[in-house]
Chains A and B, each alone.
Chain A
Amino acid sequence: MDELNVARVFPPAEIGNPVERLAILFDGHYDRLYRLARRLTASADDALDLVQETFLKAARYPKAIPSGFTKEEAWLVRVLINIRRDQWRKTSTRSRFEATASGTGLLEPANGDVEGALIARFSVWRALDGLSPRRRAIVVMRELEGIAIPAIASLLGISQITVRWHLSMGRRDLSTALKAYLEE
């Protein structure tokens, strides 16, 4: 039986010791949270810190975590996105200022394959950085994780219409920012 199944067989609500419960939460949800965190942050270290912050919050408020694997996952994902949102709010103003001050917009597509691919990748992630964490998470879940819209809505605790709206706005913003690559 792998760790994920252990978490499913023993719902955390039935485990009295909060440390044990957190260990099961960690083992059951860490990989999934890391994948999302990595796609929401600029580096692997930032992603590791973000996931750690999420579980530390779970450690501080063990009674706030609902029972059941799916509900736990949704709670953790929302906490993670909220933490990321706070970080993003603090840094986004500074980033916008720095981008304007340095006069650098998005990099132009390069002709060389390797160099071009790197620049394109950098441009994509820079464009993603412009999205709010919730919108970015929705785009990532739909486009990269292939999660259906109803499941995203359920996970984030919002309506499907809201998910569709964020998805539409996210795609529009990315299309604008990545126009040069889309017309390549």
Chain B
Amino acid sequence: MKSITELLRDADPLANESRTYSEQRDYRRKIILAAASRTRDRAVAEPTSRITLLVTLGFVVVVVLFLAERMWSPLVSNVYAAPVRFEVKLAEEKPAAGLLEAKVSGTDRSVYLHPEAIVTNSNISRAYIIQVDHSSKYSVGVEFNPSGTEKIGAATARHIGKPVAVLLDGQVVMAPIIRAQIGESAVITGDFSRTEAEKIVKGITTTR
């Protein structure tokens, strides 16, 4: 009886074939090295064509972006507006301990902010642009959710006759004097351009 190993050894073609393959070996060597030379030639030529391709692609991208910016800027600004941090803080006309001085954008006026925000982006249920008297100036309207309405209502009710600051990305864009308790909606009057107003609307709802 033979084992598997013995059967395999008996049938091993290397043990049974006397054929010499040195000639074939040299022939195959030439084929392989010729193929390697062709590959190398292509590899040497490739960087130039790759650079050309990249430059062309870069040029096309620049042209497309340029055209897109000119033709579809309102659309682009609407869709890809960056997030805008929205905060409403109680403020004072005079400095006091614990308050932070801040300039109102576009004016020389300073207000002094309470550290805590009453409402933020998470308290807004909807935002929209408002055209001011058919002019090229726009405001932004915001509607608060129930939690935001309750917070801003309670805070402004105790702060009547004093300013409240509206901040966009940390900048005070307006600080009106509270005449009455603020309810479920408010208007940010910043004399914005349409593009700016649209960016704010998108931005303050994106980060909710």
User: What residues of chain A have their CB less than 8 Å away from a CB belonging to chain B?
Assistant: 17-19, 22-23, 26, 30, 34-35, 38-39, 44, 48, 51-52, 55-56, 59-60, 62, 117, 120-121, 124-125, 128, 139-140, 143-144, 171, 174-175, 178, 181-184
Contact = CB atoms under 8 A, between A and B. Distances in A.
Contact of A59 (B1, B4, B39): B39
Contacts of B21: 34, 44, 48
Contact of A26 (B10, B16, B32, B40): B32
B7 interface: yes
Contact of B12 (A23, A39, A55): A39
5 shortest interchain CB distances as A-B pairs = A124-B11, A59-B36, A121-B11, A55-B32, A22-B36
Contacts, number: 92
A181 B2 contact: yes
A19 B9 CA distance: 37
Given A26-B29, A26-B32, A48-B21, A144 B39 contact: no
B136 interface: no
B25 A184 contact: no
Interface in B8-30: 8-14, 16-17, 19, 21, 24-25, 28-29
Contacts of A121: 10-11, 16
Given A19-B40, A26-B33, A117 B5 contact: no
Contacts of A23: 29, 33
Contacts of A143: 4-5, 8-9
A19 B37 contact: yes
Given A19-B33, A59-B36, A44 B19 contact: yes
B35 interface: yes
Contacts of A55: 28, 32
Given A52-B31, A144-B12, A181-B7, A19 B36 contact: yes
Interface of B: 1-5, 7-14, 16-17, 19, 21, 24-25, 28-29, 31-33, 35-37, 39-40, 43
B8 A144 contact: yes
- From DSSP, what is the main secondary structure of chain A's interface residues? helix
Contacts of B8: 124, 128, 139-140, 143-144, 174
Given A23-B29, A39-B13, A125-B13, 18 more contacts: A18-B39, A18-B40, A26-B32, A35-B14, A38-B14, A48-B28, A55-B28, A60-B39, A121-B10, A124-B8, A124-B10, A124-B11, A139-B8, A140-B8, A174-B4, A178-B7, A182-B3, A183-B1
A182 B4 contact: yes
Contacts of B29: 23, 26, 30
A21 B8 CA distance: 36
Contacts of A34: 21, 25
A44 B28 CA distance: 13
Nearest to A48: B24
A51 B27 CA distance: 12
28 contacts: A17-B40, A18-B39, A18-B40, A19-B33, A22-B33, A23-B29, A26-B29, A30-B29, A34-B21, A34-B25, A39-B13, A39-B14, A48-B28, A56-B35, A59-B32, A59-B35, A59-B36, A60-B35, A62-B36, A121-B11, A121-B16, A124-B10, A143-B8, A144-B8, A144-B12, A181-B2, A182-B2, A182-B3
